[in-house]
Amino acid sequence: MIRIANKHDGAAIHDIASSIKVFSAEEVTCVDELWEESVSIGSELSGYYFIVAEEDGALLGFACYGPRALTTGTFDLYWIAVDQRKKRGGVGRQFMQQSEKDIARLGGRLIIVETSGKAEYAPTRAFYEGIGYQKEAVLKDFYAPGDDLVIFTHKLI
């Protein structure tokens, strides 16, 4: 079941983010910061909307999206992570479908996903391609020398 996150989900979101091998400590801290801001002032004011997947009382993953400042109807998918014991089970696809519905309801028309071009992110890029997102741009050496930024997009309308 995919649902809107509530304030009790913070520890589980942190644990899932920490368990993802490709996420650095800095990235986990970034997830925590977005979460704190979302909980303290709410999704609308912070611009960070968290959703979670729950099965038998346990969280299987989370996603976070929000409007991109200074755009009309462009939304970023900031984070998506699925418990690695459940990967390739369709949870990621469900997160994206729910995010798309929510974003459309919020007036969004374009979703942007940014990821890394590094080899360890090949399964992540295969995921976005597998769900039909367009590989729109590559910025060479963006994150670091040898670590490109790969931008995927999805049009809602």
107 versus 130: smaller Cβ distance to ligand COA: 130
As a whole number of angstroms, the distance between CA 126 and CA 29 comes to 25
Give the contacts of 110 (CB within 8 A, at least 6 positions apart). 73, 74, 75, 153, 154, 155, 156
The piece of 32-40, 66-74, 85-93, 138-146 that touches ligand COA (CB under 6 A) is 85-93
Nearer to ligand COA among residue 72 and residue 134 (C-beta)? 134
| Residue in 124, 150, 152, 154 binding ligand COA, rule: CB under 6 A | 124
Q: Is 123 in the site for ligand COA (CB under 6 A)?
A: yes
Q: Which residue has the tokens 């996420």?
A: 23
What order of strands is seen across the sheet that includes strand 134-144?
A: 2-4, 49-55, 58-67, 74-82, 110-116, 147-155, 134-144
- Decide if residue 33 touches ligand COA (CB under 6 A): no
Indicate the SS3 state at residue 155: strand
Task: For residue 89, state whether it binds ligand COA (rule: CB under 6 A).
Answer: yes
Binding residues (CB under 6 A) for ligand COA: these are 20, 22, 79-82, 87-93, 115, 123-124, 126-127, 130-131
